[in-house]
A and B are shown apart, each in its own frame.
Chain A
């Protein structure tokens, strides 16, 4: 099997196909710190793509409550367990100094592909098929955390969570090395050369469910009314600009543009033939993922090189974050908690326009205050971020301090 280079692991790894890269890659940054789990993204997706018979269990976008929740139930714990079985105690990073080709150091453990080989499996990757039960109740267990300070016999009741938790927003990662694509014996799954979106050919799929089994993120799903599998399509008509409301310009997906908490920013990353991201510090995604490195891949150790990046929640115990986001979590939190002026401005770009922002500029503003972050004083400035589309046209302008419109108590709960 050929070797491909996985920059998230800082090393080559085995994959079914030779290395090949799209011209542009669909990617997004999700800021976990600001998610309120309102599920507006979930419903935006549901009401656009999965409202029909046979899709009752399908949530291409879901938001689960960690550390307890999961959709399908325990998807990540199950996969981590399989990895641990293939490589007991060996799923580690070497702690090497970061380089551009290996920003998180090097992963010395086994990917889902390497684990399958280590276990002598005749599949491309380790995996399992979740049962129907596991696909139901996507938010079950989210309210069961308990604190040992209380009686262990008494379950927590709403509205109080008494232990740490955070919300994890999940869509298909449109991976660089998709396990679903490798697993499909019919080559009915493909990664588009123009934008890196991973799709199932609904005409060629024969419902074997090898993709459902081997995608570690469990985002391909089986549909009993058509007897074939379906998955998140990254709202490709919007990305292409072929959706009528996009007026020919690339537009963010439904889940991104519906985000109430302003936690999502999605765009397209220019990728070179060697798989490296074209250096572009003025692209907001490139800036956050590669320059500031505040946004990290989800379970990079799986080895699929996922393309949704997360700003990790900074109140969560670090070992948990290291397992979920790799060794980059500490630096990401450090940089995010006390952001540079530029990062602070870029964070204001989130959810200000449906158009895809290809480039941004920051216009300096005056000082508005000071904060104490981890014992250090941080100055706050009312800088303005300006976003441009792919043609260089200004599409958004937003200051750090947004004007606040107060309805007043007289109008509370009135519409």
Chain B
């Protein structure tokens, strides 16, 4: 990608090309954004011998070319809203057994508590066509003829997994209660007694596996086999979704050489975002290949190349200048 051909005429042309080359090197090297059009965006899922499962900020992900997928407000059904996050940056990989999807976006606040009437959790989701669909479902929660499978990560569940289920008792530590009659009898923890997965105090994973076939039909799936982890650092969330490539019965399966649609969404809890109030993408293509992820050289390399390009360019200009000066004198 670096241009080694240095123009032999014209100071301006020389400088422009050198700077352009430097800029391209710097942006592709530092930000690593693959320019992709808004339609038919492709996220490549390449293979790696092993993928770290516990740390979404692991250096491994520097080897994977990210793709920016634009998000917008949900304006199709009530409640509408969101659109506060412009894009998610996606990376994906597989290790021959499991699919890994890393979603990253910026969020100034970490909202992981659901301990008051007005607190909502940050969240992220990935949506796929459900198993056995013969056509592409509506990316808006699927449709009656073609359902969707949704993996929904919640910051609150992440906190439950990491440090235990927290309620308003944590926030109001000095709250005085004489006694709770029938304490310990889950009959009176109504949501829990009704078997509502949202009321569960222990989760095997911070990611909930769901199915839907229209607005308002979102339902917890029979099999909860999606793992993952989300971490917030310096104003950015990175959430890693992990599931075996071969899905359980009723779940979509993935295989190298295959392609699937995937849509993405994020919620900002402190903006009161939940349900349809979200920033959401359209379907992109997830291309699963046998091709290996190439480990990149040191992350300083592009900088060095860019620096060399600039120095080289300036040297050429200097030589050109000196040469021109000499010609004048002649």
Residues of A participating in the B interface, judged by any CB pair closer than 8 Å:
47, 51-54, 56, 122-124, 129-132, 135, 185-187, 201-210, 212, 221-228, 230
Contacts and interface: CB of A to CB of B under 8 A. Distances in A.
Given A51-B188, A52-B180, A185-B276, A123 B78 contact: yes
Chain A interface secondary structure, helix, strand, loop or mixed?
Answer: loop
Nearest to A131: B118
B274 to A, nearest CB: 5
Q: Which A-B residue pairs are the 5 nearest by beta carbons?
A: A226-B191, A202-B194, A226-B199, A122-B80, A52-B188
Contacts of B81: 122
Interface in B179-219: 180-183, 188-196, 198-199, 215-216, 218
B77 A227 contact: no
B216 A130 contact: no
B39 to A, nearest CB: 27
Interface in B140-190: 156, 167-169, 175, 177, 180-183, 188-190
A225 B275 contact: no
A203 B195 contact: yes
A202 B199 CA distance: 9
B177 A225 contact: no
Contacts of A122: 75, 78-81
A222 B199 CA distance: 12
B191 A223 contact: yes
B295 to A, nearest CB: 42
Contacts, number: 113
Given A51-B182, A207-B274, A227-B199, 9 more contacts: A56-B168, A132-B118, A185-B78, A186-B216, A205-B196, A208-B275, A224-B116, A224-B167, A228-B190
Interface residues of B, number: 39
Contacts of B115: 224
Contact of A202 (B79, B180, B190): B190
B196 A222 contact: no
B216 to A, nearest CB: 5
Contact of A206 (B177, B180, B198): B198
Contacts of B167: 53-54, 224-225
A202 B196 contact: yes
B134 interface: no
B60 to A, nearest CB: 34
A61 B77 CA distance: 34
Contacts of A124: 78
A122 B277 CA distance: 10
B117 interface: yes
A203 B196 contact: yes
A129 B118 contact: yes
A130 B168 CA distance: 16
B74 to A, nearest CB: 10
Nearest to B217: A186
B117 A226 contact: no
A106 to B, nearest CB: 28
